[in-house]
Amino acid sequence: MSAQVLLASSARGAVLLAAALDAGCLGPAGRRVLVLGEEAAAPGLGDLLGARVDAVVPWREALGAGEWSPRADDVPLWERYLRLAWGLGEERVALAVESVETGPGLALAQVFVDAPLTVYAADARAYGPTRGKLDPLIGTRVERLLHLDLVPGLAPLLLSEFGVGVEAVSAKAYTGVLAEMAEAADDVPSTEGAVLLLGDGSDEALYPRLLAGAAALSYTRAVLAPHDGTPVPSAAAPGLTLTVAAPAALPEVLFARSRPALVVGRSSPALLTAAALYGLPVARTGTEALLERLTPYEHPDRVPLTLLDALLPDLAGGARPDVDVAALVRAVGFVARPRVLPELRPAAEAYLRAAPAAARYFPRRRLAALGLPGGLPAGLAVLSHGAAARRVVRRARAVGRSLGR
């Protein structure tokens, strides 16, 4: 029986790992070691997972900085060191990591060169493409992708270029872990009947927009779940009583404890969790402007933000874009990572020709660079699919690069 090394790189990933263990997704193991990354070392998470594994070890304690990676010549030494430090002996090791593209997950995959890999995705990034051309010596070792079924019927694109099998972790197991966290948490304000506002980053302008939107809908009480490190407003909008929750490991703990009347945010992963796993009313705000500002286009948040924009109603009202979500995600995936998913070009071309309402998701300049429909003025669109047109595009890009030097 093999030993399992489970790497929790984030708080949300730690919860999914616990749920995967509870649901039996990771199978039997002679010994389980949880490696806890700094972003996953939130209060209570170590205890939560410690009851499910044989040992919990902090990443920094064993390997230092999060972006560390081994030199090729040192790999055997590092493997012997970690086997000794983590009590793995000579057992066959299997890895479960949140990412094999960067960071600690890639480093562990490089150290344990023969270990089969399970990758798990705890949010909607599972529906987006792999970040770049992954080393086949890593990609071909990935046996499964575990994910949450946040958009029923939508197939994940992550690691699909390697034909990786996909398995959804039980929603009941995931919400059960969140219920454990909510029960153990201290000083969690009640959201019953209130609007729950989700912070998501360093943009201070988001909070006034959330508060104004809640007040405009005649809510009288709001609970703000701030993003850690972002200054919070000192006052609410007129007619609205505001409670600011302490920054928590996960905002889901708030609606696992009590049921808000509405959950509102811009790009928080908890929006889809609230809708898909708890059946809560949700709304988004500011997603269209954020999509326009998000750079580079292949940013890993591109697909999750696109899903929020396409699936959720706007807080200010108005119709949602009328799009085929599955086709939209495939097209965005190709436009973001054409070298990773070249087989999606025909589907992307067909979608871009047939769905003018989706133009907001695709910058014309990027479409033109890829020779895709919508990237050129209408009079020239007929030329955009030929080899000659693509040669012109390549020459224009080369000239632009030379002028920019």
Residue 232 sits in a domain whose CATH number is 3.40.50
Tell whether 329 is covered by a domain. no
Q: Which of 181, 210, 227 is the last residue of a domain?
A: 181
How far, in Å, are 21, 174, 401 from residue 6 at the CA level?
Answer: 10, 17, 44
Is the domain of 136 the same as that of 254?
no
pLDDT at 126: 97
What is the maximum alpha-carbon separation in the chain? 68
Question: How many residues belong to the chain?
Answer: 405
Q: Domain total for the chain?
A: 3
Q: Which domain holds residue 117?
A: 3-181
pLDDT above 70: residue 385: no
Q: What are the pLDDT digits (tens) for 142-193?
A: 999 999 999 999 999 999 999 999 999 999 999 999 999 998 888 889 999 9
Is the domain of 87 the same as that of 108?
yes
d(Cα 316, Cα 213) in Å, to the nearest integer? Answer: 7
Residues of the chain with pLDDT > 90, as a percent, come to 64
pLDDT at 368: 94
Q: What are the pLDDT digits (tens) for 27-64?
A: 999 999 999 887 776 667 777 888 899 999 988 877 76
Residues 6+ apart with CB under 8 A from 112: 5, 79, 82, 93, 95
Q: From the CB of residue 146, how many other CB atoms can be counted at a distance below 10 Å?
A: 23
Amino acid identity for residue 99 in this structure? S
Q: Which of 181, 203, 221 is the last residue of a domain?
A: 181
d(Cα 293, Cα 289) in Å, to the nearest integer? Answer: 6
Q: What are the pLDDT digits (tens) for 240-263?
A: 899 988 876 689 999 999 999 999
Residues of the chain with pLDDT > 70, as a percent, come to 89
Tell whether 291 is covered by a domain. no
Q: Which long-range contacts (CB under 8 A, 24 or more apart) does 314-319 make?
A: 314/283, 314/284, 314/285, 315/210, 315/213, 315/217, 315/264, 315/283, 315/284, 315/285, 316/213, 316/216, 316/285
φ/ψ of 3, rounded to 5, equals: -90, 150
How far, in Å, are 36, 58, 391 from residue 63 at the CA level?
Answer: 11, 9, 48
